[in-house]
Structure 1
Amino acid sequence: MSSGKPSWKNFDREEAEQYSGFILGSASTAEYFIEETSDPDALRYLVESLTVDRDVSGDSDVVTQALLTSRTTPFDVKQTVAQRNYNLNEPLVPDTVRKNALTAIKVGKPIVLYGPTGTGKTYFAKQLALETCLDYSIHTATPTWTPADITGSIQPETEGGEIQYHRQAGCVSQGIQKANEYHDNWGVIIDEITRADISQVFGPLYTAIEDEEQVIFKDEDGTPLTLNDDVKIICTMNMSDRTVNELDNAITRRFAMIELSRYGDEERSELFKGWIGKLGSEVDIDTDELRELFERHHQGINEGTTTTGENGIMEFGPMHYRDVTEFLTHACGSGGPYVGEEAVAVGQAFATYITPRLLNTAALPQINRLASHYETLDDQFEAFDLSPAVDLAERQAEAEEREMGVSAYE
């Protein structure tokens, strides 16, 4: 044992408090203490003392890594260390959705969060991972994904003029490595899974879910990686990409399918009220009028209008409206570029954050109805200039008609 260091094999919290200044005097001393102590409360006190403004010889990453990899460090303490730079708010999803997701994770089921755009699937996936895991990694699926993006691959690299082959873990294999390293839960978020060919890409994963001894990859050292309960897989899927009924039966059998549907009137109204309430007194916008615009816009998209008797255009969640309020806060607040042009700013916010997301998955008939919907809102709300959103939808309709060989003037 190094000279000058006490024997910390059985140190308790009281002794950790007594020697905290010495322990945190250098990264190497703190690392030694973490490796040798067997008292979780001693480590808990160490983390409480290790505030963000404390400098551990300029090398706090060493201490952080030691705390995360120690088998003695309690799970909640590891979470505190790993997540200290995160700033996610409380879950916004309905309580039943949260309960269902937490239960699925507790029983070891991978999860698919599905629903229309704007229901907060990705945001909730992050919140869920932070609540149940030390930390998470997030990966967005693409049409070019192969099974190697899930499990791993062998990649050639040129070193000194010679080709060397290295093993590169896929997103789930990386999660297994993290969980093994930290001896606790690690979240793997796979966003927008239906952008990839699920049947092809998830094949090896299906086998690993059913057989915990199935090796899905070997790391650079040849260590076999198997899927275990410490790896929490959370996927998201937009309903605009594919319906649940069109999914491969293999995934619906192996994953917990949790729907994030449109919010109820009261829940949605509370969200709008909270976001608009943060605009502050510096923003010269009638907040009641803005809330009414949000409500009528949302109702027309999802349910249609009472004046025309038409059904809704498509399913669209409320989360995108938060982007509008954040835009307005910065654009119309003190020193913002739209001070004195608040009416214009509202239209630009819709054209930037709402309309493109609607047009992205809309067919031509829906695009025409979107343009008509924005025209109606522009007429109804004289306090706001929604012409940018109207123009955007009309241009998209004209482009679609040209592509189909249909004259926009017929």
Structure 2
Amino acid sequence: MGNSSDDTYTLEQAKEEINILRRVEDDVVEAIENAENEEVLLYLIEEQELDKAHDGKRGLGNVRQAVLESRLASDRLKRLVSLRGDETPEDILVPEDVVRNAKVALEAGKPVVLYGPTGTGKTTFAKQLARETGIGYSLHTATPSWTPSDIIGGISPDYTGESLSYRTKLGCVSEGVQRARRFDVEYGVILDEITRADISKIFGPLYTAIENPHQTIFETDEGETIELDERVNIICTMNMSDRTVNELDNAITRRFAMIELDEYEEDKRRQLFKDWLDTHVSGQTDIDDAELLRLFERDYEGINHGNESTAQGSIMRFGPMHYRDVAVFVGVACREGGEYEYDQTDSIGQAFRTYIVPRLLNSAAFPQVERIAEHYRAMNDEFEEFDLSPAAELAERELEQERRQMGSYE
């Protein structure tokens, strides 16, 4: 580059040297660090997308770090580089009161738990919430082996030298604090499906930190102390298909804002179904989209609200997001050269057998298994255009197995 590190880098220079900047990463970083104004950054990043050229489609490379550290970069530009490659849908479809309550809780400094039945879009909304309330976010999915060190940090073996040594390793919350500090931004940390882990065990130190936000919770090898930072938004998701809020440790309900994500407004749910069918099925198959949409709605209503004609209530709470997998399966199976190109109506029952029924049975007690089998027998009779017998038969087999197991205990 023609200018020294003490000179400001102008828009005219950037345009003149754009071919060099496309090839040389260090020159781009230097241009960002010495930019005369944000117009230079906008040209390099928004117009020329040099961060994608050097850092790749996603991830935090040297160019994006330079933007995040720039005093000239607006929050909008920082958000742009931080979320490069993020395919989270823009449209928020969860109920408005859920969105408002979650935002207020985060603004009030409370970590949030989004809880509800499987398939209600908790993870998607967690990402949307993190995007709307911060510059970027990280997503971490809990496992049964999680310990407090996965949240706060701990000691980790280092095998890079000639002999075994140990170094401190940041946990996901501590890492979020460090990033918020480094770039002086609001940052989201998403802890997904926390019911997979022992919540009381993994959150112990975090509970203490929430009660005493100025208390050091971790110290790095470099001597940097980590305390909870108001710029870090902690967002958790929790699948409540097999437990209730009353069964949770009181510690989490006292320290976190518990936001239920359950029922979608009917028009938004219908729009979801229609969008998936338009995207994955319409024009690619000979299947009647309107009838398949009716099947989705009838199945959802029967599971969640029961059958009015028989006065039977809900089988269980079951979210609409599962039906996207059905739409994708049908579109792939029935396209030209697909496995079900010449048996398209058969693909519907196979999709329900693959994606819907196993997820229902996974958390069903015996009375629910009976209802699921009964439900899909009735659905198969009602929708003559589609062969739903594979779904019904899977539920019947599970019911017979449950009956045999009950008989063996008697």
TM-score (structure 2 length as normaliser) = 0.90
CA distances 1:65-123 after superposition (whole Å, capped 9, x unpaired): 32233343222111111222122222221223222223333333211111111110011
Q: Residue 210 of structure 1: CA displacement?
A: 2.8
Change (3 A) 1:223 1:54: closer
Distance 1:62 1:330 in 2: 39
Q: Of 15, 39, 42, which residue of structure 1 is paired with 2:40?
A: 42
Q: Of 378, 389, 392, which residue of structure 2 is paired with 1:390?
A: 392
Distance 1:356 1:110 in 2: 33
Change (3 A) 1:331 1:8: farther
Q: Residue 283 of structure 1: CA displacement?
A: 0.8
Change (3 A) 1:309 1:176: same
Does the 8 A contact of 1:194 with 1:242 survive in 2?
no
Residue number in structure 2 paired with 1:194: 195
Give the unaligned 5+ runs of structure 2.
none
Residue number in structure 2 paired with 1:295: 297
Helix, strand or coil for the counterpart of 2:392? helix
CA distances 1:324-373 after superposition (whole Å, capped 9, x unpaired): 11111111122221112111100111111111111111111111110111
Q: Residue 397 of structure 1: CA displacement?
A: 2.3
Residue number in structure 2 paired with 1:270: 271
Q: Residue 242 of structure 1: CA displacement?
A: 2.4
TM-align CA RMSD: 2.7
Residue number in structure 1 paired with 2:335: 333
Residue number in structure 2 paired with 1:67: 67
Distance 2:42 2:141 in 1: 35
Q: Residue 312 of structure 1: CA displacement?
A: 0.9
Does the 8 A contact of 2:137 with 2:189 survive in 1?
yes
Residue number in structure 2 paired with 1:238: 239
1:193 maps to a residue whose letter is I
After superposing the two structures, state which structure 1 stretch, 220-229 or 315-324, moved more: 220-229
> Where do residues 2-401 of structure 1 align in structure 2 (5 Å cutoff)?
4-6=2-4, 10=8, 26-37=24-35, 39-51=37-49, 55=53, 61-89=61-89, 90-158=91-159, 162-278=163-279, 279-401=281-403
2:249 maps to a residue whose letter is D
Distance 2:104 2:6 in 1: 39
Moved over 6 A (4+): 57-60
Q: Residue 10 of structure 1: CA displacement?
A: 4.9
1:67 maps to a residue whose letter is V
Change (3 A) 1:105 1:376: same
Q: Residue 32 of structure 1: CA displacement?
A: 1.5
Does the 8 A contact of 1:142 with 1:195 survive in 2?
yes
Does the 8 A contact of 1:71 with 1:183 survive in 2?
no
Helix, strand or coil for the counterpart of 1:354? helix
Helix, strand or coil for the counterpart of 1:235? strand
Change (3 A) 1:252 1:58: closer
CA distances 1:310-335 after superposition (whole Å, capped 9, x unpaired): 11110111111111111111111222
2:64 maps to a residue whose letter is T
TM-score (structure 1 length as normaliser) = 0.90
